Structure 1
Amino acid sequence: MDEISRRTVVVEFAGARGGEAPLTWGQSSIWRLTTWRGDDDPYFNMPWVLPVYGRRDLGVVLGAVRRLVERHETLRTNFRRGGGGMVQCVARVGRLVVEVVEVAEGGGVGPMGVAREVAVGLAARVFDYAGEVPVRCAVVMVGGRPRAVAFGLSHLAVDGGALDLLAADWRGLLAGVEGPDPGWQPMDQAVFEREGAGVERGERAFRHWRAVLEGVPRSMFDYPPGLGEVPRFIRVRMESVALGVAAEVLAARWRVSSASVLTTASAVLLSVLTGHRRVVMQLIAANRHDPRIGVLVGPAAQDGIFALELPEGTLSEATRLGHRQALTAYRHALYEPLRLMAMREELGRERGGPIDLSAYFNDTRGGGDWPDLPAVEPPGDPAAIAALTERTTFSPAGSWEHVDATTVQFITGQARHTCELHLLADTAYLPRATVHALLRGMETLLVRAVAEDVPLDTVAALCGITPVERPPGWERSRQGSAGETAQAPDASGPVVAGTAGG
């Protein structure tokens, strides 16, 4: 679809209130990541598209955009440094410049495809957080009629859960029907966290994190790094229908969530690779089980701490234990980030070195399942599920020279028809062959588990994972309840990278 013209229109908005408040804990978590990458890096910007439902004219669509910004304060918020730290500044009135992109009819990619391309462009530029609202917008027109709307959004304004709420609001606004007042906005959340019941909740999370950190390995990756690739960090995507079907079968069989199946399998594979029986990972928690935060349009996600002492038994036993540990991690994922960082630094000094929490699992599926997976006949048949592995594909999904505080991160994609599993890895510790082996190993492990309950001591051979070999001087030692730590090598000792086969 060839582009014909571009022009801009100005949408003036007037919300119910403006004001200033400290950052919420969710905003603070994103702000730290955003500033770590530098002022000229748009890594945490989010491209997003919405369809235009029905035959609407441009005035109606622009009116719906205006009401979206007026209803949700996060879309008209600046972020500035105040006397006591960063603050959110909500503008009651303002102007949003909207691009109108007119394209010819009959193109190949369709209006939504064009909108996705436009959205990527809108998100490719950094935001001026102090002087610019955290949303950019364009309307894609075909034959003089609006067909889709493209957005570039700052992660400081929204997360995945917030996008779901905005999408639900959008259809009604196009029809001229508004839902209930949003009611709970980021400024309200900031007060709740500092003056309301959120204070005690934050204290409980803080105590839980401290107790867990006192007993986990100081690092899962306590072996010398190699040179790595250039760029050093890579992300590989695996699309596996077999993995999705197997995860859902096992979740139903073991009465856990498919997220817990994938999280535990990730922990098992990391245990096999690194030799640690106690695995520690951070889980990205949506934090939306609280009814107030559930309707909040703004960033609410934070990290939860997941520690799993793997039993000597089978994958089903590990997964039931992992499910309980994951629920505990999500329950304690609302806290003041800067205070938690200070506590981690203090514990690191007490334990003789920094506590490395650079392994992550992030489930980005909106509903926690794959609603459009193909049916398997007969349902749950191991042979039929194993046959689905022939459809599995791998593809590169990006590379970067620097990624904050990550050695490995398992990420589920948002595809509805297949399990889209990404692995982001530091190639100095996990070479490219290891990344592919872990992804394929996840599929192999869960597909086999449909047929038989896999003993954990057989996973290495089953999945083709070669445990890391530490050179002389790099031996793990146990320091009481403080968990496993690595002995430093001799000055003359060799420096080699651990590898995994497969």
Structure 2
Amino acid sequence: MTSVPIPVSAGEDVEAPLTWGQRKIQRELLAYPDDRYLAFLLVAIPVIGSTVDEIIGALSFVLNESESLRTIYPGADRQRVLGSPGYALELTEGGTTESAHADMMSTRFGPTDLPVRLALVLRDGAPQEIAAVLTHMAVDGIALEFFTSRVADVLAGDTSPWQAWQPRQLAEAQRSPEGLARNARTLAWWEAKYRSAPAAVFPTPVATPGDPRYVEGRMVSFDAATALRTLTHRTRVSPSMVALAGLCAILGEHSGQPRIAVSSLSANRSSAQTLRMMGTLSQDALIVVDTDKPFDDLAAQIWESATSAYTHSTVDPDEQQLVREKVDADRGSPFLRDTVYNDVSSPSIFGQPTPPHTSAIGTTTITMEPSEFMFVSAYATVFRMDSTFEVSLWADTAYLPEEVVVDLLKAWERVLITAAN
């Protein structure tokens, strides 16, 4: 393996406070060191037809441009943007992107490690794919797509300015009088939500966890995709929220609770300054709904609750934690944040075309795989909602045995089809 330097020179080092999103991720990384889903974000960028020098030039451009890709974290609530970070590209001949990712994930990111690890997979000396591993402190899911598309665009010759704040500008805005006043209003919203939410969707573990302890079921359904289009047209609710309505319906039925709370991941880019920000804005949108109602009414309630939740998802995480602990003490039981929803199905958000697929005809498939630790009980991900409905349900078998995961995925499909009909 050969290491080639990537020239990056952006002036002097600069220090600033953390953004709220950075502080939330930093706290979670410290609290849950075994959560590899949280620790590593992976990307593969096809580069067939480009030379090694062209690839180094594109990476140099993007690393110079985006401060979060040059930032380390030397102390509590501090970020340091490095002017000359000393990046290098590892050239791997004859290997695979998967093996390159595995090598780069063999060591966790430390607070003062460079936030991006880069390798170039070659075949007979010709570049095939850039393999990159990024820390969640540098990017969230949306910014990961920005990184991917930006490198590809620069390789194609597009070097038009990237119009967005850098994270330290956002940190300054969050600490301004206007930012602090907005935060106070948001904290009041969170207190009301915590008081209305049940403590957990899965408050009681099963007798014995399975082996493996963590599993992930993945479902591909053509019929659910057809149902989703019908429901979206009829309810005038977005596909993502219709899918979430189906999930909440089955979780309410399974748990026996008429009201449930689901944390939907939010990378809130609601302003012109943050719309294309390369950084981590990852925070929660807490959606609290009553599930014992007809599906169309549930979808409408989900839409209303989600609109408010995403609006109030940007908040100081330390002060938010104090509010949560206050409500926990008053209620006598902690809010567990045990169920998470994550929709990653919209390539159009990033300017990418929808991936091609066959016509919407086929059988439903469900596959189960062993997985790794996450600090929740259930984590639902939506991958596609175009010609297919492709979703996964990760579970801690201490709360959801493997056979229950399969049943819940089947029920998710069934509730959408039944509502559409």
Same fold, TM exceeding 0.5? yes
Q: Does 1:73 align with 2:60?
A: no
Provide the residue aligned with 1:392 in structure 2. 364
Greater Cα offset, 324-333 or 365-374? 365-374
> What value does the CA root-mean-square deviation take over the aligned residues?
2.4
Matched, 1:420 2:415: no
1:372 CA displacement = 4.1
Contact 2:43 2:148 survives alignment (8 Å)? no
Q: Which residue of 1 aligns with 2:374?
A: 403
Q: Distance in 2 between matches of 1:173 and 1:368?
A: 19
Deviations 1:369-401 (A, max 9, x none): 96645445xxxxxxxxxxx4x52222234333x
Seen in structure 2, the aligned counterparts of structure 1 residues 270 and 430 have a Cα distance that, compared at 3 Å, is same
Which one-letter code corresponds to 2:336 in the other structure?
D
Query: How far did residue 366 of structure 1 move?
Result: 3.4
Which of 146, 163, 167 does residue 144 from structure 2 map onto?
163
Q: Which residue pairs with 1:92 in the alignment?
A: 83
The one-letter amino acid of 2:89's match is V
Q: Distance in 2 between matches of 1:368 and 1:282?
A: 23
Counterpart CA distance in 1 for 2:299 and 2:385 is 24
Decide which of 298, 313, 319 is 1:339's aligned counterpart: 319
Picking from 93, 108, 120, the partner of 1:126 is 108
1:227 Cα deviation (Å)? 1.7
Check the 8 A contact 1:345/1:354 in 2, yes or no: yes
Question: 8 Å contact 1:47–1:120 — kept in the other structure?
Answer: no
Q: Deviations over 1:390-437 (max 9, x none)?
A: 52222234333x432x12221113697632211122222222221111
Structure number with the bigger relative contact order (C-alpha 8 A, sep ≥ 6) is 2
1:215-230 equivalence runs, <5 A: 215-223=196-204, 225-230=206-211
Give the superposition deviation at 1:25.
1.2
Instruction: State the 1:50 CA deviation.
Output: 0.9
Distance 1:14 1:56 in 2: 23
Q: Percent identity, aligned pairs only?
A: 27
Paired residue secondary structure (1:293): coil
Shift of 1:299: 0.8
Q: Which amino acid aligns with 1:422?
A: S
Q: Is the contact made by 2:41 and 2:144 (CA closer than 8 Å) also made in structure 1? A: no
- The aligned runs of 1:4-403 (5 Å cut-off) are 6-15=1-10, 18-38=13-33, 44-52=39-47, 55-81=49-75, 85-103=76-94, 114-130=96-112, 132-195=113-176, 197-223=178-204, 225-312=206-293, 314-367=294-347, 372=356, 374-375=358-359, 388=361, 391-400=363-372, 402-403=373-374
Q: Which one has the largest radius of gyration?
A: 1
CA distances 1:195-243 after superposition (whole Å, capped 9, x unpaired) = 1643333223211111111122233334453221234332221122322
Hey, what's the Cα distance between the residues in 2 that align with 1:206 and 1:332? 9
Find the residue that maps to 1:344 and give its secondary structure: helix
User: What is aligned with 1:494?
Assistant: none
Normalised by the size of structure 2, how large is the TM-score? 0.91
* C-alpha separation in 1, matches of 2:158 and 2:356: 30
Quote the offset at 1:86 in angstroms.
Answer: 3.0
| Unmatched 5+ stretches in structure 1 | 1-5, 104-112, 377-387, 452-502
* C-alpha displacement of 1:57: 2.0
Letter of the aligned partner of 1:330 in structure 2?
A: Y
- Deviation string 1:308-355 (CA, Å, 9 cap, x unpaired) is 12354x211211121111111111110111211121111111111212
| Separation in structure 2 between the aligned mates of residue 124 and residue 97 of structure 1, nearest angstrom | 17
By how many angstroms is 1:168 displaced? 2.9
SS at match of 2:138: coil
Distance, in Å, in 1 between the alignment partners of 2:234 and 2:334 is 40
Q: Cα distance 1:423–1:91, how it changes in 2: closer, same or farther (>3 A)?
A: same
Change over 3 Å in CA distance of 1:181–1:291 after alignment to 2: same
For the 8 Å contact 1:45–1:124, the answer to whether it is kept is no
> Residue 215 of structure 1 aligns to which amino acid in structure 2?
S
SS for the counterpart of 2:107 is coil
Aligned residue identity for 1:163 = L
Change (3 A) 1:424 1:224: closer
The separation in 2 between residues aligned to 1:137 and 1:194, in whole angstroms, is: 34
1:439 partner SS: helix
TM-score if structure 1 supplies the norm length?
A: 0.77
Which moved further from structure 2: 360-369 or 34-43? 34-43
Q: Which amino acid aligns with 2:69?
A: L
Work out whether residues 64 and 173 of structure 1, in 8 Å CA contact, stay in contact via their aligned partners in 2. Answer: yes
Q: Confirm or deny: 8 A CA contact 1:45 1:123 kept in the other structure.
A: yes
Mean Cα displacement is larger for which, 275-284 or 174-183? 174-183
Classify the secondary structure of the residue corresponding to 1:294: coil
Counterparts of 1:419 and 1:431 in 2: how far apart (Å)? 23
Q: 1:419 to 1:198 in 2, by over 3 A?
A: farther
Preserved CA contact (<8 Å) 1:77 1:90: yes
Q: State the number of aligned residues.
A: 417
2:86 aligned counterpart, secondary structure: strand
Q: In structure 2, what residue type is equivalent to 1:274?
A: S
Shifted more, 152-161 versus 193-202: the winner is 193-202
Distance 1:413 1:128 in 2: 30
In the alignment, is the contact (CA less than 8 A) between 1:21 and 1:88 conserved in 2?
Answer: yes
Contact 1:363/1:412 (<8 A) preserved: yes
What code does the residue aligned with 1:119 have?
H
